[in-house]
Amino acid sequence: MQVSFILPLYNQLALTRACLASLRATVPANVDHEIILVDDASTDETRDFLRELAPPHVVLRNDRNRGYAAANNRAAHVAQGEFLALLNNDLILEPRWLEPLLAAFTLHPRAGIVGNIQLNAATGAIDHAGVVFRDGGYPVHHRDLPAGELAEFPAVTAACCLVRREWFLRAGGFDEGYHNGFEDTDLCLRAREDGLVNLVATASVVRHHVSSSEGRRSHEFRNARRFLARWAPRTAALEREWNLKLARDHAAAAARRYFTPLHRKLGGGTRALRHSHRTALAQAQRDHHASSRRLRIGVDLLRLQPGGANGGVKPFVLSFLAEIGRQRGAEFNFAVFAPAAVRDDLAGVLRPGDYVLAPAADQFTVTRRQPNGWRAAGTLAAAGNVAAQAGLDVLYAPFGTSQFMQADLPCVSLVVDLLHRDLPAALPPEEVNHRHQWFTQIAAQSTYFQCNSRHVIGRLGAHYGVHPARCFHTYNAVQGRLPATGGPLPAGAPEEPFFFYPANFWPHKNHEALLTAYRLYAQAAASRAWPLVCTGHPDERMELLRELRDGLGLKDRVIFLGHVPDDAFTALWARAGALVFPSLCEGFGMPLLEAMRFGVPIIAADSSALPEVAGDACVPVDARDPQALAEALRRVAIRTELKDSLVARGHARLAAFSLELEAGRLAHFLAAAARRLAP
């Protein structure tokens, strides 16, 4: 089905009848559709009227008035269409109002929420042609007709708009904390943060009985307070950008409208007029060039190492860079600072025209990605202002801090956890102090913080006072990075089902508690016990854990494979009986998504970010309690119905994690920082 039309209703039967009549008259014959009407506990004749409706009408009834957001969200969950057309029941839809909205999603690959021109039904004046921000970030309707078929705006009203159902559901729909106001602007800003673009299709026109819904303004203060508490720093920045754009457009228009005819009339005019004309036109040209050229994103990967020494950060960052390049290749150009030893890792990530800058003595050697390899592109002096020499518009610091940070360069820093404050015993004291120093630095210097879960945003605020408006989260949705089918199992891997723990051997990964729990489990299960397979970058701690394993009498049942290549890693997932993930401090937990993808049931710690990621698709356990962990191992190994339920819930849960949307969100904030759209 192509379109699901959604109309929440509360009384106003006469308006509902007129709206439905105009909808039926204007839906194109070739559009497969349904009309979902949600009666929000009306007290007039609306309920009797709805009983008479037949397909394609679908009627939902609320037992009490739940408000605009809840009514739409309920309808979205039962809708079958690819697109949701959200409509107020006080609209009169004009002929050909729908076609331009549908066309926008074909014409613009990143279309998010598409609105239209709305005329006041009483006066005929334009009531809505997009939403902009005024008075410190307060949303207001723009009422001038935009130029072109599609005009980009920060937001549009949901009185009449089109949105993809998949994205709407993934985003969680409307925020039900609002009551009949601000829900649509909040949703539009979330779409922007996902890297989508909100548009007004100027060829689509409807008439709107403005603010005729009962109680439309009765919650204005509460709604505004909720909205501004969340969005005011960002919408104030959007207001500044909009005002600057208007001023520049006005100056350029004045130059074209006034100065050029005057020059012709006066034969060039006075020197001051000629200077003003040239200045205005030159500024307009500079603005056009700045808005059309590719942004150069500096990416500091100097700490990147070959193999798996960087843990999950490496596949996370490389997958995101590759996806941003796919989405925004015409807009972004990467200049990646990285050791020469990892250039091959970057070959599949960077696109022609991107650069790698490798440190060498007192300089950086620059190579440019070509369609069939690399080409030397000169050197940069390491002692100078490297960011200026490289022409960076914004710096991206995936390891949190960067030697290239400076006051006049916008910066987005990735924060994956706050291990040094949440679990300082897992790190040497000097590392705790070092991390605290650079966190203090980036808290003051970074424009935005990319966190890999909402949990990390909360911890960053708790420990360093960083306001949530400077933070955004991107889940590590890189479960698709592995091949669908693997190669042979690595040497030493068991053929029968096994518990699988893929994690580097850092103290907070809690291998000691797992080995203790596994011994309790193995003693009880005897010959029926599944083996335990651990993978991770081989280091001194892995050898210490092997000694502990041997001391516990588990040498034949617990297997350490070290770092394995992707095809062997996939083969392990295909054979694994369950993932066990008892980490004590996680900012995300990427193996949870990989387990969901490969249909592997999950046992995970009930702390840090893991409950946020796993949802109901795991057996939660207190990972500090070996007895509880051993019991979880036993249950998952023997209860087939539990395993099947976890796998089914994992497949459903996986739909909430999209690399396309998460990378789009990072791209949005990189561009916002480069444009100085900072809170």
Full 3-state SS string of 554-597: CCCCEEEEECCCHHHHHHHHHHCCEEEECCCCCCCCHHHHHHHH
Q: Do the Cβ atoms of 670 and 615 come closer than 8 Å? A: no
Q: Can you tell me the distance from the alpha carbon of 510 to that of 582, in angstroms, rounded to the nearest whole number?
A: 6
pLDDT for 274 beyond 80: no
Q: Where along the chain do the CATH 3.90.550.10 domains lie?
A: 3-218
Average pLDDT of span 17-43: 95
pLDDT at residue 251 in the model: 72
**Phi–psi pair at 158, nearest 5 degrees:** -90, 10
Q: Do the Cβ atoms of 559 and 493 come closer than 8 Å? A: yes
pLDDT at residue 540 in the model: 95
pLDDT for 256 beyond 80: no
pLDDT for 127 beyond 80: yes
Number of helical (H) and strand (E) elements in the chain, helices listed first: 23, 27
Q: How many CA atoms lie within 13 A of 190 on its CB side?
A: 18
Q: Do the Cβ atoms of 129 and 206 come closer than 8 Å? A: no
pLDDT for 265 beyond 60: no
pLDDT for 351 beyond 90: yes
pLDDT at residue 270 in the model: 54
3-state helix, strand, coil in the chain (%, to 5): 45, 20, 35
DSSP 372: T
Q: Can you tell me the distance from the alpha carbon of 506 to that of 308, in angstroms, rounded to the nearest whole number?
A: 13
Close Cβ partners of 649 (under 8 Å, ≥ 6 residues apart): 615, 616, 617
Average pLDDT of span 19-23: 96
Q: Where along the chain do the CATH 3.40.50.2000 domains lie?
A: 295-476, 480-657
Asked, as a colleague might, if the bond just before 56 is cis with ω within 30 of 0, I would say yes
pLDDT at residue 213 in the model: 59
- The percent of residues above 90 in pLDDT, for the chain, comes to 79
> Considering only 239-243, 260-264, 555-559, which range has the smallest mean pLDDT?
260-264
pLDDT at residue 478 in the model: 87
Q: Provide the mean pLDDT of the chain.
A: 91
pLDDT at residue 290 in the model: 52
Which of residues 156 and 230 earns the better pLDDT score?
156
pLDDT at residue 310 in the model: 81
Strand partners for 5: 35, 85
pLDDT at residue 31 in the model: 96
Query: pLDDT tens digits for 134-149?
Result: 988 899 999 999 989 9
Sheet holding 332-337, edge to edge: 373-381, 363-370, 355-360, 332-337, 295-300, 394-397, 411-415, 448-451, 471-473
Distances 288 to 271, 292, 293 between C-alpha atoms, Å: 26, 6, 9
Q: Does domain 295-476 have CATH number 3.20.20.30?
A: no
Name the nearest CA neighbour of 570 among 643, 511, 485.
485
533 — alpha (psi -120 to 50), left (phi > 0) or beta? beta
Question: pLDDT tier at 486 (50, 70, 90 boundaries)?
Answer: confident
pLDDT for 282 beyond 90: no
Question: pLDDT tier at 335 (50, 70, 90 boundaries)?
Answer: very high
Q: Which CATH number fits domain 3-218: 2.40.50.140, 3.20.20.80, 2.40.30.10, 3.90.550.10?
A: 3.90.550.10
pLDDT for 498 beyond 90: yes
Kindly state the helix (H) or strand (E) to which residue 219 belongs, with its residue range: none
Q: Can you tell me the distance from the alpha carbon of 237 to that of 676, in angstroms, rounded to the nearest whole number?
A: 8
Q: Do the Cβ atoms of 554 and 534 come closer than 8 Å? A: no
pLDDT for 259 beyond 60: no
Long-range pairs for 655-658 at CB < 8 Å and ≥24 separation?
A: 655/170, 656/170, 656/475, 656/615, 657/475, 657/477, 657/479, 657/593, 658/170, 658/477
Average pLDDT of span 374-387: 93
Question: pLDDT tier at 522 (50, 70, 90 boundaries)?
Answer: very high
Query: pLDDT tens digits for 576-629?
Result: 999 999 999 999 999 999 999 999 999 999 999 999 999 999 999 999 999 999
Kindly state the helix (H) or strand (E) to which residue 312 belongs, with its residue range: none
Q: Which of 222-231, 277-286, 433-442 has the highest average model confidence (pLDDT)?
A: 433-442
Q: Where are the beta strands (DSSP E) in 233-354?
A: 295-300, 332-337
Distances 275 to 252, 289, 654 between C-alpha atoms, Å: 14, 21, 60
In words, the CATH class of domain 480-657 is alpha beta
pLDDT at residue 287 in the model: 55
> Considering only 213-227, 367-381, 468-482, which range has the smallest mean pLDDT?
213-227
pLDDT for 190 beyond 90: yes
Q: Can you tell me the distance from the alpha carbon of 589 to that of 573, in angstroms, rounded to the nearest whole number?
A: 16
pLDDT at residue 234 in the model: 86
Query: pLDDT tens digits for 308-322?
Result: 778 778 888 999 999
* Alpha-carbon dihedral angle through residues 256, 259, 260, 261, given to the nearest 10 degrees: 110
- Strand 602-605 to 532-535 pairing: unpaired
Query: pLDDT tens digits for 150-187?
Result: 999 999 999 999 999 999 999 999 999 999 899 999 99
Q: Can you tell me the distance from the alpha carbon of 131 to that of 118, in angstroms, rounded to the nearest whole number?
A: 12
